[in-house]
Amino acid sequence: MPASYREIDYRIRPGKYVERMMMIEAFRRLRFASVESYQYVGLGSVYFSDFMLVHRALGIHKLVSIERAVHDKNRFLGNIPFSSVEMLWGDTATELAKVDLSLRSIVWLDYDGRLSASMLNDITSVASRATSGSVLAVTVQCKFDRVAGEHGEDASVQTLVDALGADRIPYNLKTEDIEGQGTGRLFRKVIVEEVDRALSARNAILHKTHQFQARQVFNFRYEDGVPMMTVAVVIFDAGQRGLLDLCAFEALDFVRNGEEEFKIAIPKLTPREIKLLEAQMPNDDPSKIVLGPIPPKDAAQYTKLYRFFPNIAFVES
């Protein structure tokens, strides 16, 4: 299977772009330490898009990228955007353990595949070591896959049980539970429970006042050709709950603490339509927006996303 960076230009995926910008806005609110003092750990791909944004927008200098495409090493080395990017070559299963998580970190495990047991192991690796005030974000594909068994029977649920482990899947889960948005809801639950499980093990030897907890801050859904989701939590020492409260993540309308997702739906607008709408932003009363020929649904979506909307231009010669 070819590496995903050979099939997808990550710079021009509009849903991903909006997601990145929203994440940056939230990270600016971190109050456990100056955000510049954090380290960023990600899966940079050959484009390093998130690394460039994190460094430029947040001033984070310590950047660690894990890359398994060792066969294409020269191409990655040729595209490293800053001298402070440290490359770790290999799978996350081996390389994450080499990352010093005693440093306050933003770790974005930005996978392009479906949730798997190895990804859950990565989540455990981070959650069991991350210091207070760290952020763990996980992105996976969440498309419902109907699977037929050897005799034509529906094996969709059994496939998930085989992939993730019976102890992580509700015993009474039915295929209809994972159709449509159901796969995303299940994956969110499994990811959050994996974090909680790792923290429970960690807390066994800690005094109650300094046990680690996690609070979900993101539950994004978007489609750039395939349904994707991102769940993120802040991991914190119970004694630092006051610092978490100071972050005031709830003031951001895209922050989600539970099952409800924030859907990033990119409206299909022309440059002229965008200019018409943008000139009327911000606007708390949609009924007063002059739409012209713009479908109301698209205008409503733009109103929610306009501050993060991508400006992508194609130049013809």
Residue with tokens 């501050």: 307
Sign of the Cα torsion 144, 147, 153, 157 reads: negative
**For residue 317, what pLDDT is reported?**
43
Per the structure, the count of domains in the chain is: 2
Whether the pLDDT of residue 138 is over 50: the answer is yes
Per-residue confidence (pLDDT) for residue 268, from 0 to 100: 87
DSSP string, 243-310: HHHHH-GGGSTT---SSPPEEE------HHHHHHHHTT-S-S-GGGS--TTS-HHHHHHHHHHGGG--
**pLDDT, average across residues 65-71:** 94
Q: What CA–CA distance (Å, rounded) separates 127 from 248?
A: 22
- 155 assigned to some structural domain: no
pLDDT at 12 over 70: no
Asked if residue 169 lies in contact with residue 161, where contact means CB atoms within 8 angstroms, the answer is yes
Percent of the chain with pLDDT over 70: 94
The answer as to whether 170 is a domain residue is no
Please give the residue that has the higher pLDDT: either 150 or 159. 159
Query: Do 68 and 126 share a domain, yes or no?
Result: yes
Same-domain pairing of 126 and 89: yes
Check whether residue 70 and residue 29 sit in a common domain: yes
Q: How far apart are CA 232 and CA 257, in angstroms?
A: 9
Element of type H or E holding 110: strand 105-114
pLDDT band for position 6 (cuts 50, 70, 90): low
Q: Does residue 102 sit within a domain?
A: yes
pLDDT at position 163? 95
Tell the residue number behind the tokens 């979900």, with chain if given. 216
Residues 220 and 285 in one domain: no
Same domain, 202 and 297: no
The secondary element (H helix, E strand) that includes residue 26 is: helix 14-27
**Residue 58 belongs to a domain:** yes
In a domain, 201, yes or no: yes
CA angle 305, 310, 312 (to 5 degrees): 155
Q: Does pLDDT of 131 surpass 60? A: yes
Residues 60 and 136 in one domain: yes
Q: Does residue 278 share a domain with residue 259?
A: no
Q: Examine residue 254 and state whether it is found in any structural domain, yes or no.
A: yes
- pTM assigned to the model: 0.92
- pLDDT category, 14, cuts 50, 70, 90? confident
Can you give the CATH number for the domain in which 46 is found? 3.40.50.150
Residue 188 lies in a domain: yes
| Residue closest to 108 by CA, chosen among 256, 254, 217 | 217
pLDDT at 160: 95
State residue 312's pLDDT score: 61
Residue carrying the six token digits 């992508």: 312
Better pLDDT: 177 or 44? 177
* Residue 303 resides in a domain: yes
Range of the domain at 282: 271-308
Helix (H) or strand (E) holding 109: strand 105-114
Token pair for 181: 């948005």
Is the same domain home to 99 and 245? yes
Same domain for 210 and 301, yes or no, is: no
Preceding omega of 293 cis (within 30 degrees of 0): no
What tokens were used for 51? 């690394």
d(Cα 64, Cα 278) in Å, to the nearest integer? Answer: 37
**Taking residues 102-119, what's their average pLDDT?**
96
pLDDT digits (tens, 9 = 90+) for 179-199: 999 999 999 999 999 999 999
Q: Rounded to whole angstroms, how far apart are CA atoms 81 and 9?
A: 16
Q: What is the C-alpha separation between 36 and 18, in angstroms, rounded?
A: 22
The arrangement of strands across the sheet holding 227-237 comes to 85-89, 62-67, 39-42, 105-114, 134-141, 227-237, 212-223, 262-264
Average pLDDT over residues 173-179: 95
* 311 confidence band (pLDDT: 50, 70, 90): confident
As a whole number of angstroms, the distance between CA 14 and CA 313 comes to: 12
257 & 283 share domain:
no
Based on the domain organization, do 20 and 122 belong to the same domain? yes
Q: How far apart are CA 298 and CA 17, in angstroms?
A: 18
> Looking at the predicted structure, is the pLDDT value of residue 314 above 90?
no
Residues 234 and 304 in one domain: no
Which amino acid, 184? G
pLDDT of 4 > 90? The answer is: no
